[in-house]
Structures are given as C-alpha cells and as structure tokens.
Chain A
Amino acid sequence: MVAVIVIIGILVLLGIIFAVLYNRLVGRRNQVDNAWSQIDVQLKRRYDLIPNLVEAVKDYMQYEQETLSKVTEARSAAMQAGAAGPQAQAKAESALTDTLKSLFAVVENYPDLKANQNVLSLQEELTATENKIAFARQFYNDSVLTYNNATQMFPTNIIAGMFNFATRQFFDTPESETVVPKVDLR
C-alpha cells in the first residue's frame, strides 16, 4: 500500500519536473524569436531616420552629392534585401552602415554643419540607433546561448529531443563589418 503511494508520488514529481523543463524550453525559444524581431524594429527605425538626415545636410553639402546619393541608394537596397533572407539583409545593412560612416566623416569638413543643432541631434539619434541595433543583436545572441544551453544540457536535452527543439544559429557579423573601413576624406 505504502509502496503504491510512493510510486505515485514519484510519478507526480517527475511529471511536474517534466512540465517545468518543457515550459522553460518553450519560454527560451520564444525569447529567441522575440529578440530576432526586435532587431528588425531597430533596423526599420534607421530607415526612417536617414531621409531626415539627408534632407538636413543636403543644402550645405552641394559638393557631396555623390556621398549623399550613395547613402540613399544603400538605404533602398537594405530595405529591399529584407525579402532575400537574413544573410543578404545583414550584408546590405552593413553596407548602409559604411555609407553613413563616410557621410559623418565628410560632415567633419563643414564647420557650419557641425554646429547645426538639427544635424547634431540627428547624429546623436543615428549613433543611438546604430548602438541599439548592435545591442539588439547582442541580446539575440545571448538568448540563443541560453536556449542552446537548455537544448543541449542534461536533463533538458531529453525533453528537447522528444519535442524537436532545434538549436538556433548565432548572429554572425558579416565580413565587411569586421574590417576597419577606409574613410576617404577628399
């Protein structure tokens, strides 16, 4: 009689542990998905800010039309690359970052522009957006790490195997971003 109660007790306990670990896996996987979408939110914010910046500097920088048009083109390319998948999008995004870096380097040559309040606050907003993109990616990678650990470590790996919780890929920086950009100040 006692043996039966003990066995039932153990089964109930195992069931509870099972449920807790399963829920933990689900929660972590959802966090990974959420973190990925959050990166998109920041990228779209950048798309919205850039036309304002180009407008603000356009009148001052008559001789820099080439730089400005490069920025606009890179932005359009990045917006369209979203449909081609994350790898293509990441490449297009880093190309856009490069054009922005060149633009800010050029702004250094125009003292009127440097002191302009509009330009300064736009610069701060763009810096903040670049940082936010970077931190969103960082948080995505952190979430992937926690999730992958859960799918691979004992005892959660048993449940992960049973319900096909696959490991996720880390976000890798595209080649062009790890290379220090050559800034042409002509």
Chain B
Amino acid sequence: MYEQIRRNRRASWLLMIFVVAILTAMGYVIGRAWTGSSGGGLGFLGLFGVVAIVWSLVGYYAGDRMVLAVSGAKQITHAEQPQLWNVVEEMTIAAGLAQPPAVYVIDDPAPNAFATGRDPAHSSIAVTRGLLEKLNRDELQGVVAHEMSHVRNYDIRFATLIGILVGLVALIADVFLRSRWFGFGGRRNDGGGGAGVIVMVLAIAFAILAPFAARIVQFAISRRRELLADGTAVELTRNPLGLAGALQKIAADPNKLRAGNRATAHLYIANPLRKVKDAAGLFDTHPPIQERIDLLLAMAHDEAPPAQAEPLATA
C-alpha cells in the first residue's frame, strides 16, 4: 500500500517536471527564433505565463461550482441520506480533516462518483443514485475514501497546474505557428546565418510536437494520480476489498452516465466515457479498471493478518 502511494506520487511529480522542461525549452527556442535574441525568449515566457495564470485562476476558484452544476448534483443533508453522510464523516475522521466536504447526489442510474475542490476546506463529493443503490456499506466507504483522497492529495490543484502548463504549451505553439504562417514577427537576425535556420527548424518542430507530447504526459499524470488515490483510499479504510468490490460492480454495470462529458471525465472514479478495456491507451484519463482491481486484491493478500490462523473457539 505505502509502496503504491510513494511510487505514484514520485511518478506524477517527475512527469510534471517533464512538462515544465518541455515548456521552458519550447518557450525559449520559439521566443529566440521569433525575436532573434534570448532576452526575447524569456520575455515571451513571462507574457504567456501571466495570461495563462489569470485564465486558470477563474477555473481554480469557481471550477468546483461549475462542475457540480454541469453534472446536475443536488446537495443532501444528514436526514436525507444518513448512511452516505455517516460514511463521509467516518472518512473525514480517518483523514484527520477539520470538516467534512459538502455531499451531493446525482440522479443517475449509472454508478459513479467524483470529488472537486481546491483544498480540503473547500471540497465537495458527489455520488450517483445508482452508486448508492448498488453498493454495500464497505464498498461505498471505499469509493468515498477514494474521492476524499483526491481532495487530500490536492489532485484538483495538481490537475489545474498541469492544465495551465499544457495550455501554455499549446498557446505558445499556436501563436508561433500562426505568426510564421502569416509572416508576422520573425525578424531575422542576419548575423545568425546557419545557426538561425537550425533554431527556426527546432522551433517549428517544437511548436508542432510539444502540445501533442504535453497532452500525452497530462493523461499519464492523470492515470498516476488515480492509482495514488486508490492507494491512499486504502490508507484511510485499511480495507482494500471494499474499494475492489466497488470497482468490480462499477465495471460490470451497463448503464452509461448521462452527465459524463470530456471536460469532467477525469474527475470521476471510473471513466464515464470509455468501455472497459484491457490496456491503458495513451489518451485514457484512468488506468484500466481490471488493473486497479488486481492491485487492490494484491494489497489484501499481502495484508492477510496472521491472527486468522488461530482457532476461533475460545475458552
């Protein structure tokens, strides 16, 4: 369990650094090619940085309300859904949070759940009616623990950050390519000669490939954070079989989530858009569900308590 947590946290940070590296290299090369000097390269980076950050702050602060509205979630009280409320409170205690997240229910027969919110104090969890009907208490606990783990691990913030970086990559590439096309900018530094051409070629290559590569990395990070959330969920419940059972039921369910769409798919516990597959595609936001179940079952096997070998009868 701890190994899975460590491995995925490390992997997601390495991938994040990789995206920053792509961005820095690309920004510099393109800026240099466009303005013919390295000062221009850095200036570019700064300008687009400001734009992207402002644009992402809106998403950061109001994003959770937008997502909840889009999915048709309704907030519930203790009296309306006592078991769900209690399960969320139990996980709040296990996680040591000061207050529980707001709890919402989505009126949909497909079993699924998502969490949103930039930090534990401003978070919300939503589950579908289908999930409440089909899962038992332990499985519900596993799902809620997984969602709260996303909040605890600041995954929303992480994803927003990656989103900023990837968006920045795409933006820089886009502007650069358009400017080349229409012949704006590109003041040639005639003193550059051969070196100038090489830089130009590199810049164009970056502009075409980098956004593509950045998106692939973004999806890889999303898969890693899902596995991390699975691991930290077990850290909360100490019961891998609960979440494993829930994932099995979710995978077997034929209903399709009505509210699922590409913008919010990455937030749900199981990918609401794709059919169950065996191998992870490069563009999948979630790892294959069977792989997740297998990892959880392996955890359960490792942690079989030795006390079970003793006879049940007592004096």
Chain A residues within CB distance 8 Å of chain B:
31, 35, 38, 42, 121, 124-125, 127-128, 131-132, 135-136, 138-139, 142-143, 178-180, 182
Q: A132 contacts which chain B residues (CB < 8 A)? A: 89-90, 93
Interface of A is mostly: helix
B54 at the A interface (CB under 8 A): no
Q: Which 3 A-B pairs have the closest CB atoms?
A: A128-B86, A135-B94, A135-B93
Alpha-carbon distance A31/B238, docked complex (angstroms): 21
Chain B residues within CB distance 8 Å of chain A:
82-83, 86-87, 89-91, 93-96, 137, 236, 238, 307, 312, 314
Known: A35-B96, A179-B314, A180-B314. A138 touches B238 (CB 8 A): yes
Q: A142 contacts which chain B residues (CB < 8 A)? A: 96
Interface of B is mostly: helix
- B79's nearest neighbour on chain A, judged by CB, is A121
Alpha-carbon distance A142/B232, docked complex (angstroms): 13
Most buried by B among A35, A135, A136, A142: A135
Q: A31 contacts which chain B residues (CB < 8 A)? A: 96
- B305's nearest neighbour on chain A, judged by CB, is A178
User: In the complex the two chains form, is B307's CB within 8 Å of A178's CB?
Assistant: yes
Known: A35-B96, A143-B96, A178-B307. A135 touches B90 (CB 8 A): yes
User: In the complex the two chains form, is A125's CB within 8 Å of B96's CB?
Assistant: no
Q: B95 contacts which chain A residues (CB < 8 A)? A: 139
Known: A35-B96, A180-B314, A182-B314. A128 touches B307 (CB 8 A): no
* Beyond A128-B86, A178-B307, A182-B314, 7 additional pairs, beta carbon < 8 A: A42-B93, A124-B83, A128-B83, A128-B90, A132-B90, A138-B238, A139-B94
Alpha-carbon distance A58/B44, docked complex (angstroms): 77
Most buried by A among B82, B89, B96, B314: B96
A107 to chain B, nearest CB (A): 18
